Structure 1
Amino acid sequence: MTKETKESGLAYANEILQDEWAPVLLFWLGFRTFTKQELLELIPALSEEELSAKLCQLQNLRVANPIRDTENKYSLTEDGEQLRRLMMSLSVWGAQQQDDNADRQSVLVVEPESTAKLKDLVKYNQILSKYIK
């Protein structure tokens, strides 16, 4: 997607966010750094091949980067962090609007601690799915 395009900026961002796994990967990679194996545990529906392809795609978009160290973790770039903040703002806004339209009380979203254990983060996917899936 680094090709020159005449689409609007919103259409370009939408194209990225409409991918099945990009929003979830943006969320987790912006939360803290993870190895591929940790990402596979966080997103069990994603195969190793799919994960590799998605990480490559996010790198080509310049929103994610591998960290060159002994652990081979991945993180977001500054552009990726900015996209994540926008995505989360839109996601929370959308969920609140849905709650308002259904006359439901909105629930405050609180991210887990960045030091949380991986098994606890896996449980957080249930909450996350209301906002970005």
Structure 2
Amino acid sequence: MTEAKDECGVKYTLDVLEDRWQPRIIYWLGFRPFTITELHQLLPDLTDVALNEEVVSLQNLRIVNPVVDEENKYSLTADGNDLRNMVLTMSVWGWQQMDDSANKVSTQFVEPEKDATMAELIKYNEQLNKYM
């Protein structure tokens, strides 16, 4: 990620979001805290090494908290939560625009329950893939 001073804020944000995995990590860590093992279950196509690198990158950007909690779980910072809200808004808006262009009626975006099981969250990835 570039940190050039002459770039605008939108470009900087898009550089973070153009990574395939970072928006998904931001989504899940804003949903509720997860261990690295749980994150790997939610993102099975990502290797352990790559997942760790992505989390460290997001920590360096002050999106993910630099320390895990007492249960060894990662979470978002306040800025990370702000970014998550923006990512969700952009994702839903983009999907609705694609549906409008195809003359389709958009379905409503509904997040799973906060106490959903890991199996339910893994299944929810099918829905989430339409948006991110």
Q: TM-score, normalised by structure 2?
A: 0.95
Q: Which residue of 2 aligns with 1:25?
A: 25
RMSD: 1.2
Kindly indicate whether residue 7 of structure 2 is the aligned counterpart of residue 7 of structure 1. yes
Query: Offset at 1:6?
Result: 1.6
Larger relative contact order (Cα-Cα within 8 Å, sequence gap ≥ 6)? 1
Runs of 4 or more off by more than 2 Å in structure 1?
1-5
Report the secondary structure of 2:112's partner residue.
coil
Paired letter, 1:92: V
Query: Offset at 1:47?
Result: 0.7
Write out aligned runs for 1:98-117 (5 A).
98-117=98-117
| Counterparts of 1:60 and 1:2, CA distance in 2 | 13
Q: Which residue of 2 aligns with 1:62?
A: 62
Q: Which residue of 1 aligns with 2:49?
A: 49
Report the secondary structure of 2:75's partner residue.
strand
Report the secondary structure of 2:74's partner residue.
strand
Q: Which residue of 1 aligns with 2:128?
A: 128
Query: Offset at 1:5?
Result: 2.2
Write out aligned runs for 1:88-107 (5 A).
88-107=88-107
Structure 1 or 2: more strand by fraction = 1
Report the secondary structure of 2:107's partner residue.
coil
Query: Offset at 1:4?
Result: 5.2
Contact 1:2 1:60 in 2 (8 A): no
Aligned length: 131
| Counterparts of 1:2 and 1:61, CA distance in 2 | 11
Q: Which residue of 2 aligns with 1:81?
A: 81
| Unpaired stretches in structure 1, ≥5 consecutive residues | none
Report the secondary structure of 2:115's partner residue.
coil
| Unpaired stretches in structure 2, ≥5 consecutive residues | none
